Amino acid sequence: MSRVQTVNVTAGRVAELVGRLAVADLAEILDPLPGLQARLRIAPGDWGQVADIAARQGLRWSAVWGDHRPPQILIRSLLFGCDGHLLLETAVDEALPELTSQTGAYIAADRPERALQDMFGVRFIDHPDRRRWLRHQGWAEGDYPLRVDFPVAGRRSGTTPPDCNYPFPAVVGEGVYEIPVGPVHAGIIEPGHFRFQAVGETILRMEEHLGYVHKGIEKIAVGRDLTGLARLACRVSGDSAVAHGWAACQAVERALQVEVPPRALALRAILVERERIANHLGDIGAICNDVGFAFAQVQMTRLRELVQRQNQVLFGHRLLFDRVVPGGVAVDLDAGQTLSMLEELQRLRIDVEELLPLLLEYPSLQDRLRGTGILPPEQARRIGVIGYIGRAGNLQDDLRRDAPYAPYDRLRVEVPACLVGDVACRVSVRGEEVLVAIGLIEQLLADLPDGVLRADCPVPGGEVEGIGLIEGWRGETVAYVRLSAAGRVERYFPRDPSWLSWPALEMLLEDVIVPDFPVNNKSVNGSYSGHDL
């Protein structure tokens, strides 16, 4: 079983990096946005060098995004240290948008930079992979959909040609063959292509190609009011409606300097912990079912269903859509509902504590899970994974404990972790996170503040921006929001944790047998929707 290990988090310190860069005249110190430790302006020519220094100092890479402000494109990169988050900013000319890649320092920047290349036309110098990532056949050469002059409905008329020529590299050798899987799958999931190269049953290499959905989240956010933004954020990834909704609202509230009522903050935490519980229960059951242990699937699905039914009864929505709103929450709990939830949590705790030891010690089940899909801790740190995938290899970063925001700043948050990084560890960590979440909700309900549920969000009267940082069930969830003087959205960027977990799936499949792909995939469970904005 997993247990609370010695604390092992990102070691680098933002404050030390800022000092070092300032002394070297590599950065201009700017006023930090609320919730961040620091913000630096970097010259375009120093962008890659600064990333190299940050990586050597042990900071974790988190996200990169663009913002077209003609005649420039602003590029922002978010890093995390043990003392908080650091925002790097630079700007490139829209006519010749070139920037040194950070991928050499941080592998995690690979696909996000390719997405920036596709959506804004930014060319990353020294990037190791020139292939498109999100571009599809609906966009002509020279079209960049997230530039302000590109229409939200696109420019192509008629049917978009099929996207069937993504250049997967070939692996040749005696007995090597390929297995294309997807993008359309047999199950009720979203599209994603997996290209396997194997010998016999053993996987030599697997590469993903995602980006088939193209919901246009970032584009259609522009011009929305705050309520419309919150509703859109809840739909970035339906299984993370609370996490993304809270991150977007937190970004808005920080930008507007709105103080959210304590009761609303406690209710938000209750909602996000219930989202965590439901998703972990469902996935634990599905993982076990993928190796033929249907008993666990039945039991865990039953428990998840009970949680979601109570969500419907108490909060009016099984998946908790639109319960988090700008300035607060749209739901409340009375004394009877509080008691009902506590009774349900008590029964859930008993069931989980009875089932988990059975799953984690049952020989025939553990024979399939232990040693399967190992992501060694050193490799996990190198690619920057977060959430339960990192914690399965004792990379414990958890914003609730390590960069606490209200109401977690008044709670004690335990972070379960394992050491090996295999499927068994991912199941164990997720099971214990269910118990931790139950305990947190009990703490919150025992000391639920009185007061109003929502604060007013004023019209800013000038352009403002903010960043939201929430620990969702998959891990660190990021949202950047820039508002106009009238309070309308000018730019919204959500970063789902799946951007950092999908590459982990490719790595942990090396030398795994093909029939074990489903159980490994489910143990990671990246979000297609959260990635394919």
What pLDDT shows up at residue 1? Answer: 47
Domains and CATH numbers, the chain: 13-125 (3.30.460.80), 167-213+497-532 (3.30.390), 224-258+456-495 (no CATH)
Q: According to the model, what pLDDT value does residue 179 have?
A: 94
Q: Is 463 annotated as a binding residue?
A: no
Confidence of residue 156 (pLDDT cuts 50, 70, 90): confident
Q: Which residues are CB-contacts of 116 (< 8 A; sequence separation ≥ 6)?
A: 64, 65, 66, 75, 122, 124
Helix 262-289 to helix 335-361 angle (10° resolution) is 30
Kindly list the distances between the CA atom of residue 444 and the CA atoms of 327, 349, 405, in Å, as whole numbers in the listed order: 19, 16, 14
Q: Which own/partner pairs from 145-150 qualify as long-range (CB within 8 Å, at least 24 positions apart)?
A: 145/119, 145/216, 145/219, 146/66, 146/68, 146/119, 146/120, 146/218, 146/219, 147/68, 147/73, 147/94, 147/120, 147/121, 148/68, 148/70, 149/70, 150/219
With cut-offs at 50, 70 and 90, classify the pLDDT of residue 50. very high
Count of other CB atoms within 10 angstroms of residue 93: 11
Q: Where is average pLDDT lowest: 114-123, 154-163, 368-377, 410-419?
A: 154-163
- Rounded mean pLDDT of the chain? 95
**Cα→Cα distances 515→57, 172, 288, 518, Å:** 40, 22, 14, 7
**pLDDT tens string 303-327:** 999 999 999 999 999 999 999 999 9
Question: pTM above the 0.75 mark?
Answer: yes
pLDDT in tens, 447-475: 999 999 999 999 999 999 999 999 999 99
Q: What's the average model confidence in pLDDT over 491-504?
A: 96
Confidence of residue 4 (pLDDT cuts 50, 70, 90): low
pLDDT confidence bin for 188, thresholds 50/70/90: confident
DSSP 103: T
